[in-house]
Amino acid sequence: MKQLFFILILFSGFTSFAQQTKIVSDSVTFRSTDGKITFGGTFSKPLGVKSFPTLVIISGTGKQDRDGNMAGHKIFLEIASYLNQHGIAVLRTDDRGEGKTTGVYETSTTADFANDAIDAIAYLKSRKDINPKEIGLLGHSEGGAVISLAAAKSKDVKFLISLAGLAMNGFDAQIKQNEDLVNHSILPDYDKKRSNEINRIMFETALKYADSDSMEVKLNDTYKTWKIKDDAYFKTLNIQFDHFRFPIYSYVRNATGAWYRYFIKYNAEQTISKIKVPILALNGDKDLMVAADENLSNWKKYSLAGGNKKVTTIKLPGLNHLFLTCVTCDNAESSKIKTGFSEDALIIIKNWINKNIR
């Protein structure tokens, strides 16, 4: 209770500033360093303020527009609008192949998206109204890995904010995410067992052959071997109809692509240990996509391994992967939730920036 009261007091202290702040918002375009991609986005800033921190918002898995339209919620627009009202500028762009941004999302990797983030910072540094010493990245979900790679590579990244951001190895994240989703589902226990078993076997095979031309063959052979064993197991259950299906064709098609091959090998510890800038990491405790405890722990542990003690981690109660207050907290519920992005999370972000970056 004391911590909540403290946060509310800080928030009330900024009310008058927020009410007086005027915002200017512009559509912008800029090119990648190699000139191959044109990015379209929106840059918004507080008007009449001489100096302000600036955030670049980085999306998670799946092609998204600059507003961060997910399950009927414009998550990135909500974040930007709040931060703008509290003296913080925001650049949010369309992902590759979306909106005004060119390029092909489907053949790009997490490392490519990290380069896109660095290109966005290069654009900001070219503007006369931006303080280059106060440019940070805010990443959601896979965006946590993206901002980590960018910060490990470029000294132009001055701070990081992770929103349910990935801080686990790609393989471990695949295992944890799928087990959480399966175990939270309404599947009968015997099908949960089968799902978790085949998922692990396939992920292990994908990791082993991620750099191999024979990956597709190995995945199909692995599934066929498991299916023979699983058919025999199902007969022992004396159940008339088998409703369990593993999406072997779509999984193999996805796994043999460039994104998955890179992601399954992603080494979070190696990457995060190279980051030397302040980090704020937030997670909802009901997140089924990026597990709060494991990922928040890794943000601190891996940072400390590299000598970075400037890390703050906070787990927020009752929030799902999109930082929406949830009841069942599965993915299907998100589109039915009427409330927006957690105000508690927004207050924490704003206060942390004011304390650590300004």
pTM: 0.92
Residue 268: name the closest of 179, 152, 181, 349 by CA: 152
Helix, strand, coil abundance in the chain, percent, nearest 5: 50, 15, 35
Token pair in block for residue 83: 């931060």
- The CATH number of the domain covering residues in 2-169+267-356: 3.40.50.1820
CB atoms within 10 A of CB 213: 8
Distance CA 136, CA 57 (A): 9
Cβ atoms of 260 and 254 within 8 Å: the answer is: yes
Per-residue pLDDT of the chain (358 residues; tens, 9 = 90+): 333 322 222 333 333 344 557 999 999 999 999 999 999 999 999 988 888 999 999 999 999 999 999 999 999 999 999 999 999 999 999 999 999 999 999 999 999 999 999 999 999 999 999 999 999 999 999 999 999 999 999 999 999 999 999 999 999 999 999 999 999 999 999 999 999 999 999 999 999 999 999 999 999 999 999 999 999 999 999 999 999 999 999 999 999 999 999 999 999 999 999 999 999 999 999 999 999 999 999 999 999 999 999 999 999 999 999 999 999 999 999 999 999 999 999 999 999 999 999 8
Token pair in block for residue 262: 């890179």
Residue 91: name the closest of 71, 114, 117, 112 by CA: 117
Backbone angles phi, psi at 249, to 5 degrees: -70, -45
Token pair in block for residue 124: 């900001």
Q: Where are the domains of the chain?
A: 2-169+267-356, 170-264
Q: What is the 3 state secondary structure string of 227-254?
A: HHHHHHHHHCCCCCCCCCCCCHHHHHHH
**In sequence order, what are the beta bridge partners of 39?**
30
pLDDT of 20: 59
**E strand or H helix that includes residue 212:** none
Token pair in block for residue 189: 């226990």
CA–CA distances in Å: residue 176 to residues 9, 52, 102, 179, 289: 37, 38, 33, 5, 8
Distance CA 50, CA 128 (A): 11
| The Cα angle at residue 152 between residues 146 and 157, in degrees rounded to 5 | 80
